[in-house]
Amino acid sequence: MFARRGQIQTLPVAALLLVCVCGGGDSTGPDDPSGPPIVTSINGATQPSGPIGSTVIIEGSNFGGTQGTSQVLFSNGSGGTIPAIIASANDWTSTFIVTAVPAGASTGNVVVQTSLGSSTAVPFTVTQNAVFSPSTINWSTTAELPAAVSGHALAFAQLAGPSPVRVVYSVGGADNSGAPVNTVYMATTGAGATVSAWTATLPFPNAAAFHAVVVATPANSRITGTGFLYVIGGATDAAGTPGSTVYQGALAADGTVSAWTTVTPLPAPLHSSGAVIFHGDLYLVGGATTGNGPVATVYRARLDAAGGLGAWQPQSSLPFRRAHFGFGSFGGYLYAFGGDSGVVAPHSGSQSQTSVADVAFARIDLRTGNLESSGWLTAGNKLTKSVSKHTAVVAGGYVLITAGLYNGASSGSTEESYTQLNADGTVSSFNGATGSNTIESLVSGGNLFNHAAVGYTDATGVFHVLVAGGDDVNTPGTRHRGVFFY
């Protein structure tokens, strides 16, 4: 987890509704196991993790066609085990188990146990639930970007090691002339919310703006390396000519990018899309194509152990064409917040008559990774105003919408809005932050669009939101270097 462009969801998903402990059925049948269970993947990750109550997806073989007396066992931290609850009989198959991290579980091994033996233990890290309370928004400033930029992307990565490294990346974007750049800056965060001074790391090969960025690590995908930074599509010039190239940057243990290569290109050139990694799959949603026309297309590609991308698989389309929207995932759902349904130049600072306030959401089939057959639904509650070129940060069961272009935007009266995300994917009513709780009240020129935002967790487990750069609503074409956190 985290975002419209660049938002990555780096946090564990919320638990699915748990009803009862099921099982006790006859384990005989055509798919009887032929030997001890084999676990090939947990949560589609090499180093799976999650907080108490979060969903756990176990893939493998020899689990048995029904649960019977079989169990999924988590460590209790003192040499014993705690069985996980299986909410439904359908959540246990011979190759697939859906459960949740049980209360009392601690970091340690996860084992599937059947009458024919136990699987090889898989290390599982029990993390702290991220607390995200956007109802009280108090912004502060931290180290500025090295250069003014808009149409860039932010991403966060926590890189494992004896001393974990927490890095925020600012990737690409457009300079004061509107021309795309290929610079990559990084800043680290420790026990507090502030970030270190930004330093340059290896730039990606060709400049882009309004691209999507995600980070794959062993905690969210099947990769075996330290991690990879992906730059997906984007505008290749100031007019918004889209590209289809996907760059993969290999991350070193200190967070620097050591090399760039290309992986499977997009099926069509796009900019201003939303992207996220969920359980080892990369989802790309909407955006604008040639001529800045929005699209409704949705794709999924699976990451392999080397960080390569499989073929892009078409998914259920958005309810209507949409670009320049806020994007994120939570609890096994994808969300698109607001955006623009018309042809809009990416650098335009004018309020568009085709911007929307709708919120669309779709549920991911945990067994296949595809979107469920019900496709995208439109939430009953909308944003406080039609808005585009804003950001969305999703975490802890909430979403925070920041800035963007909307009628009356120069007042900053609804610069931030937020709501709770419900277990069934729906959203509650949106509330707005005003006055001293807005970025505009903190600094002159803080009324932004085409900025970037990301959520991140510091070394103490506290969740924060970072907003950086962007164009000026009051004087479009004036890019900023400012970085704000909450």
The CATH code of the domain that includes 208 is 2.120.10.80
Q: What is the pLDDT of residue 414?
A: 63
Q: Is the dihedral of CA 443, 447, 452, 453 positive or negative?
A: positive
29 has a pLDDT exceeding 60: no
Q: Give domain status of residue 55, yes or no.
A: yes
Mean pLDDT along residues 187-215:
92
257 has a pLDDT exceeding 90: yes
Last residue of a domain, one of 92, 126, 160: 126
Q: How confident is the model at residue 408 (pLDDT cuts 50, 70, 90)?
A: low
Q: What is the pLDDT of residue 188?
A: 93
Other beta carbons within 10 angstroms of residue 38's beta carbon come to 15
19 has a pLDDT exceeding 70: no
Q: What is the pLDDT of residue 27?
A: 36
Q: Give domain status of residue 195, yes or no.
A: yes
3-state secondary structure of 356: strand
Closest of 172, 125, 278 to residue 216, by C-alpha: 278
- Quote the CA–CA distance of 164 and 158 in Å, as a whole number: 7
Q: What is the pLDDT of residue 411?
A: 58
What is 174-214 written as a DSSP string? B-TTS-BB--EEEEEB-SSS-B---EEEPPPSS-BBS-EEE
Residues 117 and 254 both lie in one domain: no
Mean pLDDT along residues 332-343:
96
Q: Which domain does 112 fall in, by range?
A: 38-126
Residues 120 and 144 both lie in one domain: no
Q: What is the pLDDT of residue 404?
A: 93
Closest of 415, 402, 406 to residue 387, by C-alpha: 406
Residues 189 and 42 both lie in one domain: no
Q: Give domain status of residue 109, yes or no.
A: yes
Q: Give domain status of residue 32, yes or no.
A: no
Q: How confident is the model at residue 439 (pLDDT cuts 50, 70, 90)?
A: confident
Closest of 2, 326, 322, 284 to residue 156, by C-alpha: 2
- Quote the CA–CA distance of 61 and 116 in Å, as a whole number: 12
Closest of 189, 155, 169, 222 to residue 9, by C-alpha: 155
Residues 228 and 80 both lie in one domain: no
- Tens digits of residue pLDDT in 118-140: 999 999 999 877 777 777 778 88
Write down how long the chain is: 486
- 230-249 burial string, b = 16+ CB within 10 Å, else e? bbbbbbbebebebbebbbbb
20 has a pLDDT exceeding 50: no
155 has a pLDDT exceeding 70: yes
Closest of 179, 229, 227 to residue 202, by C-alpha: 229
9 has a pLDDT exceeding 80: no
Q: What is the pLDDT of residue 8?
A: 37
Residues 93 and 185 both lie in one domain: no
Last residue of a domain, one of 98, 126, 154: 126
Q: Give domain status of residue 3, yes or no.
A: no
Closest of 276, 343, 338, 267 to residue 303, by C-alpha: 276
**% of the chain beyond a pLDDT of 70:** 92
Q: Give domain status of residue 372, yes or no.
A: yes
- Asked if 60 and 41 count as a contact pair (C-beta separation under 8 A), the reply is yes
- Quote the CA–CA distance of 348 and 415 in Å, as a whole number: 19
Mean pLDDT along residues 411-417:
70
176 has a pLDDT exceeding 60: yes
CA distances from 173 to 64, 153, 240, 431, 469 (A): 51, 7, 12, 30, 10
Which has the higher per-residue pLDDT, 52 or 459? 52
30 has a pLDDT exceeding 80: no
Strand partners, 186: 169, 199
Dihedral, CA of residue 240, residue 450, residue 397 and residue 340, to nearest 10: -50
Q: Quick one: tokens of 172?
A: 């690409």
- Asked if 400 and 336 count as a contact pair (C-beta separation under 8 A), the reply is no
Q: Give domain status of residue 2, yes or no.
A: no
Q: What is the pLDDT of residue 22?
A: 34
Residues 48 and 150 both lie in one domain: no
Q: Give domain status of residue 333, yes or no.
A: yes
Residues 121 and 55 both lie in one domain: yes
Q: Quick one: tokens of 432?
A: 């707005």
- Tens digits of residue pLDDT in 277-330: 999 999 999 999 999 999 999 999 999 999 999 999 999 999 999 999 999 999
**% of the chain beyond a pLDDT of 90:** 74
- Quote the CA–CA distance of 80 and 108 in Å, as a whole number: 10
- Asked if 427 and 401 count as a contact pair (C-beta separation under 8 A), the reply is no
Last residue of a domain, one of 102, 126, 150: 126
Residues 164 and 264 both lie in one domain: yes
Residues 186 and 67 both lie in one domain: no
- Quote the CA–CA distance of 188 and 167 in Å, as a whole number: 4
Q: What is the pLDDT of residue 240?
A: 96
Which has the higher per-residue pLDDT, 215 or 352? 215
- Quote the CA–CA distance of 238 and 223 in Å, as a whole number: 35
- Asked if 181 and 175 count as a contact pair (C-beta separation under 8 A), the reply is yes
- Quote the CA–CA distance of 394 and 247 in Å, as a whole number: 25
Residues 195 and 89 both lie in one domain: no
Arithmetic mean of pLDDT over the chain: 89
Residues 371 and 456 both lie in one domain: yes
Q: Could you give the number of structural domains in the chain?
A: 2
Strand partners, 212: 232
Residues 70 and 166 both lie in one domain: no
Q: How confident is the model at residue 338 (pLDDT cuts 50, 70, 90)?
A: very high
CATH of the domain at 94: 2.60.40.10
